Structure formats: C-alpha cells, structure tokens
Chains A and B, each alone.
Chain A
C-alpha cells in the first residue's frame, strides 16, 4: 500500500540553526499538510499546501517556517532559526482530495530535538 515517507526520523539541532524536514507524499495525492505534536500533547495543524501554494496556515506557522514542493515528489518544511520550543514530532500528511470524506494519510514523523 502506498505510504507517506518522512526523513529523517530523528533530527537533533542546536538552537538558532536551520532545519529542513522532508516528505514524499503518496504519488497521486494533491493536498499536503504539516502537523506537529509536542510530546504527549495534541496534534496541531501547521499548514496546508495545494497547487504549489499555501492554502491555509495556523498561528503557529510564523515567519520562521516555510514550505516548498521543489519537485514533483518532495514536500519540505523549513524552520529557519530553531527555538527550544520547536522540539516536537512533525508529521507530514497527504490527501487525495479536499472533500470531507478524504482521509489524511500520515508519515511516520520526524522527531525534532532542539538543544
């Protein structure tokens, strides 16, 4: 069964450094998302992306965050200057459609630790 692939599975970085989290969505999916989950807490929406542009972003997704689909397969989340509070699990998800009956399929996540 097709799946969403995220790399790396773990990333440790120093405060102030830039990180890029990578995702390969399911190939026929058109809608892409990033979510984050601070340890033991709720899964929070960051951003949705369709047709090569951001569809919606949350308050969390401030100027230090950016997303890109550099080619036909990859979808990346960049955090420009990481802060301690950015430590979390970051999930990429994709969906075939935007209708209410389309589930989001999630990758296995990237655990980001900022020291």
Chain B
C-alpha cells in the first residue's frame, strides 16, 4: 500500500490565486514528520515546509502553509497568492520514527502550472 498519496497529477491555476495541493498519508507510527518539496524544471529538490505529528498548529513558511488534518491523515500544501515562479513539481513526503535511520518516502508528485 502506498504510504503517501497525491491524487492530483497536474493542476492549472491562475496567477495570484491560492492553490491547494492534496496529500494523504498512511502510517501506524504515532511519531512522524510530513514534508513538502518543490522541484522546478531545473531539477533540484527544495525543502519547503515541515509538519510534525504532535504539532498543534498548522505549519507556515511565508506563502506556504500546511493544512494538517491528523484524523483524516491529510497534509495539504496551500500556496497563497501564486506566482509564475511557483510552477514546478511538488512532492509530499513522510519520515516515520519507527527506525531512527529511516528514509523519507515520497508521493508521486503534483505538477503545478501557474497561468499568467
């Protein structure tokens, strides 16, 4: 079973609008972290935002915020006031605490296109 599910392979959004990228996850570990990464067309992987399983408040980093709904096991990324430079692939990822050396597991990604 997939641990990270991103159901939107692609999205088109008008510049300056807000956009929500969906992510659901599956884990039995009570301690886990959720991450979003941005991959522009140039290929690098840029860390955007983190949410911990015990965090009471939703994480925010500038125009990025994470809509964390623990009971529903969802961690959607919200980008406010989208810009042309936000066009990229976005990956949701999870790190569990079961194994202290454990890797990050990625979803399949959502390709976001910002339209002028």
Residues in A lying within 8 Å of B, measured CB to CB? 31, 33, 41-45, 48, 50, 55-56, 89, 91, 93, 98-109, 111
Chain B residue with minimal CB distance to A42? Answer: B108
Q: Which of A43, A98, A100, A108 has the most CB of B within 10 A?
A: A100
Q: Is B104 an interface residue (CB 8 A)?
A: yes
Chain A residues lying within 8 Å of B106, measured Cβ to Cβ, are 42-44
Chain A residues lying within 8 Å of B108, measured Cβ to Cβ, are 41-42
Chain A residues lying within 8 Å of B107, measured Cβ to Cβ, are 42
Q: Is B31 an interface residue (CB 8 A)?
A: yes
Q: What does DSSP make chain A's interface, helix, strand, loop or mixed?
A: strand
B103 and A99 form a contact (CB under 8 A): no
Residues in B lying within 8 Å of A, measured CB to CB? 29, 31-33, 35, 37, 42-47, 50, 52-53, 91, 95-97, 99-109
B104 and A104 form a contact (CB under 8 A): yes
| Contacts A89-B43, A100-B32 supplied; 14 other A-B pairs, CB < 8 Å | A33-B104, A41-B108, A42-B109, A56-B101, A56-B103, A98-B102, A100-B31, A100-B96, A101-B33, A101-B50, A104-B35, A104-B103, A106-B44, A106-B46
Chain A residue with minimal CB distance to B46? Answer: A106
A100 and B101 form a contact (CB under 8 A): no
Chain B residues lying within 8 Å of A91, measured Cβ to Cβ, are 45
Q: How far is the CA of A44 from the CA of B95 in the complex (A)?
A: 14
Chain A residues lying within 8 Å of B91, measured Cβ to Cβ, are 43
Closest 5 CB pairs between A and B? A106-B45, A55-B101, A100-B33, A98-B100, A100-B97
